[in-house]
Structure 1
Amino acid sequence: MIRSTIAAAALLASVSLPVLAHDHHSDGLKSAESPAVLAPFDIIHTKISTTGKVATFHMAVSGKAGASTPTATGQLAGSDVFSYVWPTSINSYDVGFEKDAGILALAVTAHPDFDDTPLFDENGDGNRANDGNLWHSHWVVLQPNDQCGKGALGVVDIPEGQTPRLPKTWPGLPLLLDSPGWSPTFNGDTVEVRVPFDSIGVVEEASFDGVTAGLRINQSVHAPLLCVVNVMDIASGDLSLPGKTNK
């Protein structure tokens, strides 16, 4: 059901890409370069691989990964988020949320107008509340939400007064979003995140896709709070999650 839901959302967004092999990135999903997509977000390769109990989430683009970040607006409402995202078939329960809460995705994001990693001081200046402009990682739970736009996805809101199951590193925002503190690594055209799992089998059995996208904070908390407003690229072309871990 999740796979068909996000496939429908992608078709409504009318985003598609042909598939083309690239010699310098092996396995996973390979995609054609697209002149219509900004090079730092033009996906050419996506994969998830495991070694021991660590999963490496890998994405390569046709330009320099991480080279472009949002322009600061000076306020939270209406501010932008840029992201590299791995939607997966992993159940939300396996990383600390309620079971079957939505589409679980690992995201690497940057957003200069707010900080959502209150446990970590990414820039090392002694202030843990001013690091949102630096690329960092999240688990997010996504669902289609027409309030974000016809067929668009949003990060799932936590309704006022409800206390769902949440990861220990949940940052306190009214969203199904976790800030686990795994630092992404950028190297030329590639971004990677190494993620430890107690039960690595849930990753080894998973399917995945790759997405680059812009998100936006809405004016009020449950409008919803965080919407996907600009899908830049999709590795598979249709968000069908065709990738298989270690394949």
Structure 2
Amino acid sequence: MKSLKLPLLIASLLTGFAGGAAAHDTGHLSGLATKASKAVKASFDIVHTKISTEGNVAIFHIAVSGKAGASRPAKSGKLAGSSVFSYVWPTSLDPSVIGFEPKAGILAFAVTSHPDFDDTPLFDENGDGKLDNDGDLWHSHWVVLQPDPACGKDALKVVDIPEGAKPRVPKTWPGLPILIDSPGWSPTFKGGTVEVRVPFDDIGAVESGAFDGVTAALRVNASVHSPLLCVANVFKVASGDLSLPGKVNK
């Protein structure tokens, strides 16, 4: 499986990197344009990525060459070794913007589906009156990423919280021992696009940021232990090299 093998870039991100190569030429279209690829499953084949703002709302957008959200992981019946499919916007924003410790890692917004567990305990996405049975439905997260060799050479993981530690976390942290937030912002799928509208108290911090687009599968560790959640298979990176060339509203 392909993983993100970008040690020098990861190091620069973790020390405050705020952009890389110039954004792709999109003509009248803002954001990052990416050529379609027959080698990538159409529902994850990114062709356009952008983040824009309206008032105090940031709009996260990815377009693919097929139908967005059409593919979800098969249910395995157990947490250990289970899969997570995701549409991800890695950013240059400091994790403190949404309530994590400053400089904790790479802050990314993600839309995910995983039928073997539920990590949005405050929300009933399928409307059946139960809060713990709808992880298969697409939903949103903030995650903080760091490299970990236990996930593969130069591969990324969602940062683990050591036993007994009490780091700063957002109010909607779901209680898992990783740096993840479950804010409840619902994704909208329409044809080849997925969008999420995310309110921000400090929209200026978002507007000064940089971003990229990624589609990927993550995997829960077979021992359900540190590292708990690894990036196991990268389907596509909008920039090709995770250089965060995208600029908000540009």
Asked if 1:239 corresponds to 2:231, the answer is: no
Partner of 2:18: none
Q: Deviations over 1:1-33 (max 9, x none)?
A: x9821789xxxxxxxxxx675x8x821000000
Alignment of 1:159-238 (within 5 A): 159-238=162-241
Q: Which amino acid aligns with 1:194?
A: R
Q: Which amino acid aligns with 2:42?
A: A
Alignment of 1:110-189 (within 5 A): 110-189=113-192
| CA deviation after TM superposition for structure 1 residue 223, in Å | 3.1
Partner of 1:5: 10
Partner of 1:16: none
Partner of 1:26: 29
Distance change >3 Å, CA 20–CA 52, structure 1 → 2? closer
8 Å contact kept, 2:79–2:224 = no
Quote the sequence identity (%): 70
TM-score, normalised relative to structure 1: 0.91
TM-score, normalised relative to structure 2: 0.90
Distance change >3 Å, CA 185–CA 44, structure 1 → 2? same
Partner of 2:78: 75
Give ranges in structure 1 of 5+ residues lacking alignment. 9-18
Partner of 2:62: 59
Give ranges in structure 2 of 5+ residues lacking alignment. 1-6, 14-23
| CA deviation after TM superposition for structure 1 residue 53, in Å | 0.2
| CA deviation after TM superposition for structure 1 residue 47, in Å | 0.3
Distance change >3 Å, CA 92–CA 45, structure 1 → 2? same
8 Å contact kept, 1:40–1:68 = yes
Aligned-partner Cα distance in 2 for 1:56–1:72: 30
Q: Deviations over 1:226-245 (max 9, x none)?
A: 00000000000000000000
